[in-house]
Amino acid sequence: MNIKDILSRLPHRYPFLLVDRVLEADEDKIKALKNVTFNEQFFQGHFPDNPVMPGVLIVEALAQTGGLMAFNRIDEDNVNNYLVYFMAIENVKFRKPVVPGDNLILDAELLKRKRNIWRMKGIASVKGETVCEAEFMAMIREKE
């Protein structure tokens, strides 16, 4: 899935779109990429002399990745009729900082689904090492 496909599914836009490419995907798992560059707006203030990607944005990147996975269960012709809403987050752990130049790999997998409520686990990694993990819930519903 390239950036055009991502933009057709997620409502996020720069500077809040945090997924650059989907590397692998099926209905229950997805692997995406965020290329972290020094030009990211958040590095202007977090922190100017020691730039570190804010942890909440790593979690948001995982949530966006999970949202893209949910769209894999929707007929291609109908993806523009739905939105995915982030509902809850649990068991978040930050292991290492993410800095400019890192290729942030975002893995999400479906743990449980009940109707339109999804429970997922996300793991963000850099060079094969986990930098963040979280469990989160999302709701997919038709646009009003």
Which domain CATH number covers 51? Answer: 3.10.129.10
Count of domains forming the chain: 1
What is the chain's pLDDT, residue by residue, as a tens digit (144 residues)?
Answer: 899 999 989 999 999 999 999 999 998 999 999 999 999 999 999 998 999 999 999 999 999 999 999 988 887 777 788 899 999 999 999 999 999 999 999 999 999 999 999 999 999 999 999 999 999 999 999 988
Quote the tokens at residue 114. 């009940």
Four-residue CA torsion sign, 11, 17, 19, 22: positive
Rounded to whole angstroms, the Cα distance separating 5 from 67 reads: 13
H-helix or E-strand spanning residue 3: helix 3-9
Instruction: Please name which of 131, 112, 2, 127 lies closest in space to residue 62, comparing C-alpha atoms.
Output: 131
- Domain encompassing residue 65: 3-142
Give the active site residues. Answer: 46
**Three-class SS state of 65:** helix
Quote the tokens at residue 15. 């500077």
